[in-house]
Amino acid sequence: MTSSLALLTGSTTRRRPTLWVLVPAIVVTLCMLIPVVYLFVRAAQADVAEALDLILRQRNLDLLRNTLALTFGVLAFTTLMALPMAWLVTRTDLRWRRIVTVLAVVPLAVPGYVMAYALLGIGGNYGALARLFNIYISNIHGYWGAVAALSLYTYPYIFLNVRSALLGLDSDLEESARSLGYGRLAIARHILLPHLTPALLAGYLVVGLYVLGDFGAVALMRYEAFSYAIFNQYSGAFDRIYAAWLSIMLLALAMSFVFMEVLLVKRRRLNSVGSGSQRPAPRAKLGKLAPLAWLYVTVVVLLSVGLPVAMLSYWLLLSPPDLSVFQQVPMTFLRSASAALPAAVLAAAMALPICYLSIRHPSRLSRFMERTVYIGYALPPLTLALAMVFFALHTAFFLYQTLALLIFSWALATLALATGPIRSALIQSRPNLEEAANALGYSPAATFFHVLLPRLKQGILAAIALVFLFCMKELPITFLLAPTGFNTLAVTVFSRTSEGMMAEAAPFAAAIVLFSSLSVGMILHREKNL
Amino acid sequence: MRKSWLAAATLSASLVSGIAAANELTLYSGRGESFVQPIVNQFERDTGIKVNVRYGDTAQLALLLQEEGTRTRADLYWGQDAGAMGSLAKDGLLATLPSRVYDDLPAIYTSRTGQWVAASGRARVLTYSTERVNAADLPSSVFELTDPKYKGRLAVPPTNGGFQAFVTAMRVQHGDERTLEWLKGIRANEPVIFRNNTTSVQGIADGDVDFAIVNSYYLPRFVNADPNYPVAQTFFAAGDIGNLVNVAGIGVLAPSRNKDNAVRFIEYLLSQSAQQYFTSVINEYPVTPGVISNPVLTDLSELLVLAPEIDLDELADLPGTLRLLRDAGLM
């Protein structure tokens, strides 16, 4: 009765969500709080004097300054790489735009530690340049090394965001501005930039949180950021209390990024209403500037894609490893995938009730639930992993060092990634059909499986691909939580490279890049505008 | 000679493997995969016992074992240094080994309580750049490294087990106060912090640093791959704590339910072929007699003259060393 009424009025907000949705959503939210609760329990084990001593160390201030400097450096560099690139592929007559677009997204498939090793391998007296061409440049490390490594593989996030914002932008707006006599620069300043800001900020948030949490690239570049200090406390000292305090400080920093983005976007979104016309924006003619544009594209692609591929080949060819090394690759890949795929499916399954609730039944509770999923993403992976180690050791020992715990932790870390595509798929599919199905006597479960799920298929697949990509490259969570002997591609690459066995690591790194590229391809394939 | 021994081992192993096939061992290894996995694979082939290895840093895994306590799933712990072994033994986490395992070993290679044995020996050395360091710049004592002429030129891996054991030995010989003073002096000399021994040696080749204090067996691997590798290693003056001779130790965890197989693994490491592998391939020192010596290594008798006299059982205070490293600002 109530449902047919809802069908008539088209209103869904008043209806109470069924327990089928509410209960899973609450369970997911509670799961998300596990690492946070454990972090605080651990930190509270220090007595007050000890805690103050740990918090007020001069070193923490240095770490904070280093971490902030790194974040802003990376944001500046990624903007320099992503913004012109996105404009070139959406608004100019650049040739081979599709190929350039794909090449600009492929760096997502390169793990940060591989990028860092590639950078470390070129320079130095014993690096590739010195040994192949007798060119001696000093090794890049420390701050600039970390900025370079992180920028080169995170810039696609900003590129993708800006690109879709440019594609979705109402071209009528620019046209009317032009007819009113605005010049190109004025249009860029008054129309393009303000409308791109939300996309830029969203990209900045993703990249900023990545930078805070990354430890592979930072450790290899020997740059003392928070995440590296946490790893050192763990690996050299296993000091859980100091590690917990460092983690809380880093979490606070991450959450401040999240809120900053919310505040800035809220102010901006007021003037960016309207969904954009279907008419593609006119493309600027590059003319004489074309060679310059190509130079730019070539440099960015060579650095971000060419460099890691070239260094992997160099190591493989320099001292080709035993055939037996290659024979391990398929098994290791299957091992990685056998954990990453369930994690991807689990993350998508956990994202579903949360997204459904927040879109079909918006309320204060559902909004709260939707925000909690960002905890997993905002928590640096290493911190999340440490929290789960302690959780398993002290509360759920049956889970300790099991595959289930690894999969579960990956799902917690990637839930926010999974909600994105599922959320937009839900928004695009109108609720009327579900209500009609309800009115026709379909049970909630039948409605879900026969009506809703088919319409969300694309979104769910994209979510699975995103999470899969993350897990295949993921290092800290795997490192701490994987069952003994469960060496994934990422762990193998990291442990071999840290022993200086570049050639023995290269086939595994190549496998990560190859298969991650396939999931990148899947994500892009979904888009019509490519 | 070696081949026939291996064949005999395989044959005898295959006779018992029918019983042991279902068995599995869990090994926590503070030693790198490249050193450990070949011998583990060989053990698996010879005995049919599967060994799952968890790799990590020596201190990290020792403290993880302390955290896990009696609930640990590990059967064996293979640490990079005597200090970590001693600290586990002190906490009652290691089982007492049957005396037949260590009866034939020289006394310096077993703990007095029989809870762990050495699997191989190694020395601490000073590695340096052959391109940027001349003989006059080589210090005769590790204490000289705080001299301003080494400013910014030294690699230090504070989270590495071998380095931590060396600091513990310095505390045993020279006291906490002098050790802390040295650590602070090193810190003031702006060392370059590396993750481990391998990356420290690579740092010298790449020109990032000129000196590193590491274990003796890392450089030979690079030199074997490239005879012109631009790094060399040397000892400090005889008796200097910088020449500490340490061991990689192995013990059985007290809660283990596979103690018999775990002991078999230890006996396997002490077998002639495994000892020969440590000596010839890993460039370490054997703990049992009768192994053909490695021409790359300083002779064992000469090494014993250079080494300081330290009782390896005394290297157990890992937490105290970590505290000093933190106080000095190196961690």
In SS3 terms, A375-398 reads as HHHHCCHHHHHHHHHHHHHHCCHH
Neighbour tally for A178: CB within 10 Å:
15
**Average confidence (pLDDT) over A362-368:** 83
- Quick one: which of B217, B195, B228 has its CA closest to B129? B228
Task: Compute chain A's Rg from CA coordinates.
Answer: 24
pLDDT band per the 50, 70, 90 thresholds, residue B77: very high
- Quick one: which of B162, B167, B226, B224 has its CA closest to B194? B162
pLDDT band per the 50, 70, 90 thresholds, residue B27: very high
What pLDDT does residue A238 have?
58
CB B111 within 8 A of CB B250: no
Separation CA A200–CA A375 (nearest Å): 21
Neighbour tally for A358: CB within 10 Å:
22
**Average confidence (pLDDT) over B237-252:** 92
Question: Residue A227 above 50 pLDDT?
Answer: yes
C-alpha angle B256/B271/B104, rounded to 5°? 85
What pLDDT does residue A530 have?
47
Query: What is the identity of the amino acid at A87?
Result: W
CB-CB under 8 Å, A238 with B159:
no
Q: Tell me the sheet residues that pair with B252.
A: B76
Dump pLDDT digits (tens) for A140-151. 888 999 999 999
The single-letter DSSP state of residue B73 is -
The single-letter DSSP state of residue B100 is G
Residues of chain A numbered 86-125 and touching chain B (CB < 8 Å): 123-125
**How close A87 gets to chain B, by Cα (Å)?**
40
Percent of chain B with pLDDT over 70: 93
Neighbour tally for B83: CB within 10 Å:
31
Please list every residue in chain A whose beta carbon sits closer than 8 Å to the beta carbon of residue B60. Answer: 234-236, 238
More reliable by pLDDT, A16 or A87:
A87
pLDDT band per the 50, 70, 90 thresholds, residue A3: very low
Please list every residue in chain B whose beta carbon sits closer than 8 Å to the beta carbon of residue A496. Answer: 33-34
Least confident piece of the model among A10-19, B23-32, B250-259: A10-19
Within an 8 Å CB–CB cutoff, is residue B256 touching chain A? no
**How close B160 gets to chain A, by Cα (Å)?**
7
Separation CA B154–CA B139 (nearest Å): 12
What pLDDT does residue A216 have?
80
Within a 13 Å sphere around the CA of A114, how many CA atoms are in the beta-carbon half? 36
How do B117-129 and B231-234 pair as beta strands? Answer: antiparallel
Question: Residue A43 above 50 pLDDT?
Answer: yes
Within an 8 Å CB–CB cutoff, is residue A508 touching chain B? no
Q: For residue B193, give the chain A residue with the closest CA.
A: A222
**How close A496 gets to chain B, by Cα (Å)?**
8
The single-letter DSSP state of residue B311 is -
Within an 8 Å CB–CB cutoff, is residue A484 touching chain B? yes
What pLDDT does residue A426 have?
82
Q: Exposed, middle or buried by CB within 10 Å (0-12, 13-18, 19+), for A8? A: exposed
CB-CB under 8 Å, A499 with B208:
no
Q: For residue A484, give the chain B residue with the closest CA.
A: B54
Specify the length of chain B in residues. 331
CB-CB under 8 Å, B64 with A500:
no
What pLDDT does residue A237 have?
58
What pLDDT does residue A275 have?
45
User: Least CB-CB distance to A59: which of B33, B55, B329?
Assistant: B329
CB-CB under 8 Å, A124 with B205:
yes
**Average confidence (pLDDT) over A69-89:** 94
What pLDDT does residue A272 have?
37
Percent of chain B with pLDDT over 90: 48
What pLDDT does residue A243 have?
78
Question: Residue B16 above 70 pLDDT?
Answer: no
ipTM confidence score: 0.74
More reliable by pLDDT, B301 or B219:
B219
Question: Residue B233 above 70 pLDDT?
Answer: yes
C-alpha angle B285/B288/B291, rounded to 5°? 70
Query: Over the range B241-263, which residues count as b (16 or more CB within 10 Å of their CB) and which as e?
Result: bbbbbbbbbbbbbbbbebbebbb
Query: What is the identity of the amino acid at B174?
Result: H
The beta-carbon contacts of A251-257 under 8 Å, at least 24 apart in sequence, are A251/A36, A251/A39, A251/A378, A251/A379, A251/A380, A251/A383, A253/A64, A253/A67, A253/A68, A253/A212, A253/A226, A254/A209, A254/A212, A254/A213, A254/A378, A254/A379, A254/A380, A255/A378, A257/A205, A257/A208, A257/A209, A257/A212, A257/A378
**Average confidence (pLDDT) over A293-313:** 93
The kind and range of the H/E element at B119 are strand B117-129
Q: Of the spans A54-68, A196-210, A281-295, A403-417, which averages the highest pLDDT?
A: A403-417
Specify the length of chain A in residues. 530
What pLDDT does residue B84 have?
85
What pLDDT does residue A324 have?
82
pLDDT band per the 50, 70, 90 thresholds, residue A340: very high
Please list every residue in chain B whose beta carbon sits closer than 8 Å to the beta carbon of residue A138. Answer: 207
First-residue to last-residue Cα distance in chain B: 49
Within an 8 Å CB–CB cutoff, is residue B55 touching chain A? yes
**How close B120 gets to chain A, by Cα (Å)?**
19
What pLDDT does residue A74 have?
96
CB-CB under 8 Å, B158 with A501:
no
Question: Residue A528 above 60 pLDDT?
Answer: no
pLDDT band per the 50, 70, 90 thresholds, residue A236: low
**How close A345 gets to chain B, by Cα (Å)?**
27
In SS3 terms, A229-256 reads as HHHHHHHHHCCHHHHHHHHHHHHHHHHH
- A41 Cβ partners below 8 Å, 6+ apart? none
Please list every residue in chain A whose beta carbon sits closer than 8 Å to the beta carbon of residue B222. Answer: 500
Percent of chain A with pLDDT over 90: 21
What pLDDT does residue A182 have?
77
What pLDDT does residue A210 have?
87
Separation CA B87–CA B82 (nearest Å): 9
What pLDDT does residue B302 have?
84
Question: Residue A169 above 60 pLDDT?
Answer: yes
Least confident piece of the model among A121-130, A394-403, B207-216, B263-272: A121-130
CB-CB under 8 Å, A498 with B196:
yes
- To test the contact with chain B by mutation, choose from A126, A494, A501 the residue with the greatest count of B C-beta atoms within 10 A, namely A126
Q: Is the dihedral of CA A214, A219, A224, A230 positive or negative?
A: positive
Within a 13 Å sphere around the CA of B260, how many CA atoms are in the beta-carbon half? 5
**Average confidence (pLDDT) over B143-164:** 91
Q: Tell me the sheet residues that pair with B214.
A: B125
Average pLDDT of chain A is 82
CB pairs under 8 A between A and B: 104
Question: Residue A250 above 80 pLDDT?
Answer: yes
What pLDDT does residue A268 have?
53
Separation CA A137–CA A122 (nearest Å): 9
Question: Residue A190 above 90 pLDDT?
Answer: no
Q: Exposed, middle or buried by CB within 10 Å (0-12, 13-18, 19+), for B295? A: exposed
Separation CA A207–CA A155 (nearest Å): 8
What pLDDT does residue B91 have?
86
What pLDDT does residue A229 have?
81
Dump pLDDT digits (tens) for A449-491. 888 888 888 888 888 988 998 898 888 889 888 998 888 998 8
CB-CB under 8 Å, A139 with B206:
yes
